[in-house]
Amino acid sequence: MAGDHQLRLLALDGGGVGGTSTGGLIAIMLGRLRMTVDECINAYTTLSDRVFEKKHHRFNIKGNLQGRFDAAELERAVKRILVERGLDEETLLLEDSPEAPCKVFVCATSKETKDTVCLTSYLSPRGRRHLLESTTIWQACRATSAATSFFDPIAIGPFGEEFVDGARGKQSGLRSLQWAWAEVPSVNWHPVRDDVLGITSTLKELATETEKTAQKFQRDKRSLDREGHYYRFNVDCGLEDVRLQESAKKKEIAAATTSYVASQAVFQQMTACANSLAARELDLDYGEYKTPFSLQGVPVSKQFVPRPLDTAEIEQSLLPRPGTRHTGRRIFVLHGLGGIGKTQLAVDFARRHQAVFSSVFWLDGRSEDRLRQSIAGCAGRIPSHQLSTGNKYPVARGGTDLDDAVTYVLEWLARPDNTDWLLCFDNVDLDFERGGVAGAYDIQRYLPGDHGSVLVTTRLLKLAQLGDSKRLTKVDQDQAKAIFTSWYGQQLVITKSSTELLELLDGLPLALAQAASYLRETGLGTSSYLRLYKQQWDHLMSADAEPVLPQTVDGQHNVGTTWTISFKAIEARNQKATNLLRLWAFIGNKDLRHDLLQLGVNGNEDAPATWPAWLNDLACNEVMLLEAVRLLLRYSMIETQESMPGSYAMHPVAHR
């Protein structure tokens, strides 16, 4: 960091920064020259103003395409920056110090072989030593920027090898990273002719390849996305008409970029990225309180599709800030409809950030007995030298006294200097209020001390008051398609029937997974499943149907099972609310309001005689209706409609 706390981009965890073409210039400025971001912006702006002024004729006397801009001016501009940074004009790209804080690489393409070559500031097993020991910073900048349509090629190294723009072979920054990681082979490009038709054809390929590469990378490297190691930011509109040479359009570039960054989705994704980076900078020496991370027995889905905006809210609440320690307890409650993805989102958070916490304990919250068994099971992961020598020792190592084991673990977590743990209470769905039902409990009895981080998943709206909270709602269209494709095992072809099916499932993750798995196992097409869904929904989704999703520890592997639990809990508390749910299935899933029921009574003289007593009661007594609705809201079976106060809606899958 600079003395005045300006932002610098340096390597984290032995990583680095790289790029191609103009991205390569920026990588060198940030990583090799140690510029702050503001310094880099100013230097690049000045460079572009100078370099992109003078335009050559596009063709030489032989009719071949030549660089439009003066390569010598680019060389002078880079050397000027080096001198301003206190360096010699001929400074090598290779770092003198083996402990350099940031590794840098830029890509260029060999004109002779068409191979992509990474020019690096560090020793690399795949590097070309003769280039490593001779390539200067300004030569690397020229080589990675030598797009045939902008700058002439450059010859570097002891053998005078000619290089052109790195974007030819590595048109996406992701390809560059893949090369540096040696995880995938280089792109096989055919030789490019120097004539107009050859260059035009190549540029057309490059224009479409970047987005395809990004999409393929995200599919192939889904684990990087899932674990919080991959974020991609790309201004998606406003820059379509701004070309590389149009440096005068800085205000258009700034406006489009500011608008992109200010959008809620991008802001939250950037927050998630910053939180992920900050977490790796923390002092993670937890000493004696560090326990091994394990999700054994936890319902983990390999097909999980990241939900970055939702994850960012959990991170904002629960992740510690760099240079600080937890003060007080932090609680985040994920609540929502059964099947909406609460458990898998919590699992994803725990996996992404397990290194940030001294301990991560996953607790089965479906009943008090299951919860206590889970807590007791954590005793075996506590360091053995911290175990008591009395009767609690056998409990911690598989003894039979459950109460002692629970007490021991909670006391260990409550120790004043053991503050950096995370407890995940999953599926706390039984309401203990007014006696509750068998197995219900007060979760606050199991919150140790006044510190630590707690993540709760529940259908019970009232638990949101425990701390920060979020009502998890349906996923968007892109995520819905990604979830479906993940479970389907192949690309979903967008047809009229597949589009209608996705609309009917309306972003409910469990229903999407169940439908896709059914198609995969039966070989049915989307049109056939759509017909069955409309005609035989009860059998497809029922709790008694043959499961198509993998068995998980909570046993809730289909929509019917998960909602039956909520329905039975409601039925035990309020028969009128149960009857209202049943009636709701025969009318529209939206806009249920008291005034509509009241209108039905007032406008129909026979209503008191023909309507069932419970419905008459709800229509004539608004408070009674609100009590029924309140219970349905409490179990997340319905939701309020923000656009119309006093109106309620049910998810279309639940409505069927």
Q: Which residues are catalytic?
A: 21, 165
Contact 118, 180 (CB under 8 A): yes
HSE-up (13 A, CA, CB side) for residue 414: 11
Longest dimension (CA), the chain: 101
Cα–Cα distance for residue pair 11/592, rounded to 1 Å: 56
Rg (CA), the chain: 31
Whose tokens are 């809606």? That residue is 649
User: Nearest 5 degrees, angle CA 636-CA 373-CA 342?
Assistant: 25
Contact 17, 9 (CB under 8 A): yes
Task: Give the Å distances, CA to CA, from 275 to 37, 268, 353, 566.
Answer: 19, 10, 10, 35
Angle between helices 613-620 and 594-602 (to 10 degrees): 110
Residue 643, number of CB atoms within 10 A of its CB: 7
Contact 124, 136 (CB under 8 A): no
What's the sign of the alpha-carbon dihedral 605, 606, 609, 612? negative
Residue 334 is inside which H or E element, if any? strand 330-335
Tokens of 298: 């936890």
Tokens of 611: 């309507």
Work out the burial of residue 310: count CB atoms within 10 Å of its CB; fewer than 13 is exposed, 13-18 middle, 19 or more buried. buried
Cα–Cα distance for residue pair 518/538, rounded to 1 Å: 15
DSSP 446-508: G--TT-SEEEEEES-GGGGGGSEEEE-----HHHHHHHHHHHHTSPPP--HHHHHHHHHHTT-
Angle between helices 368-377 and 402-413 (to 10 degrees): 70
